[in-house]
Amino acid sequence: MDQALLKAAREVLDNAYVVYSNFHVAAALRLKDGKIITGVNVENASYGLANCAERTALFTARTQGYKKEDIEEIVITTKQDFIVSPCGACRQVMKELIPANVNVHMVDKNDNVLSVTNKELLPHGFSEDDLR
């Protein structure tokens, strides 16, 4: 796992807008051109309108013109002393916007790491093939 990627995620962790849950999450993407894009979770009083860190980073990358094939690695970290995995909504978005073989690193505050491929997060997820 790229330590610069973890450092970038941790640098923005306090920017999370978590006034309801106080559950900070940050994500950082490393792109093929070396750029790192970060994201944090942003809550809302209407809970269903919250946005997770993973989706914030991915939507930012897409807005900046990056495509699925540009993503090489993602790190997700929290202030928790246990590993936190992406929610179901994030897994579905990650399936669509990150290549299947890209490593997804989940890191707790004590530097414990769980790394899996994107495909391992959602092995039988809904895809464009299901729409045919």
* Catalytic (active site) residue 54: yes
Which pLDDT score, from 0 to 100, does residue 128 have?
87
Which pLDDT score, from 0 to 100, does residue 95 have?
97
The CATH number that applies at residue 114 is: 3.40.140.10
Which pLDDT score, from 0 to 100, does residue 15 have?
98
- pTM higher than 0.85: yes
Q: How many distinct structural domains can be found in the chain?
A: 1
Q: Using CA atoms, how far apart are residues 39 and 51, in angstroms rounded to an integer?
A: 10
Q: Using CA atoms, how far apart are residues 65 and 71, in angstroms rounded to an integer?
A: 12
Residues 6+ positions from 101 with CB-CB distance below 8 Å:
117, 118, 119
pLDDT digits (tens, 9 = 90+) for 61-79: 999 999 999 999 999 999 9
Tally Cβ neighbours within 10 Å of residue 123: 9
- Spell out, as residue ranges, where the chain has pLDDT lower than 70: none
109: containing domain: 3-131
How large is the C-alpha radius of gyration of the chain? 14
Which pLDDT score, from 0 to 100, does residue 129 have?
87
- Residue of 11, 54, 72, 128 marked active site: 54
Which pLDDT score, from 0 to 100, does residue 83 have?
98
**Exposed (0-12), middle (13-18) or buried (19+): which is 101, by Cβ within 10 Å?**
exposed
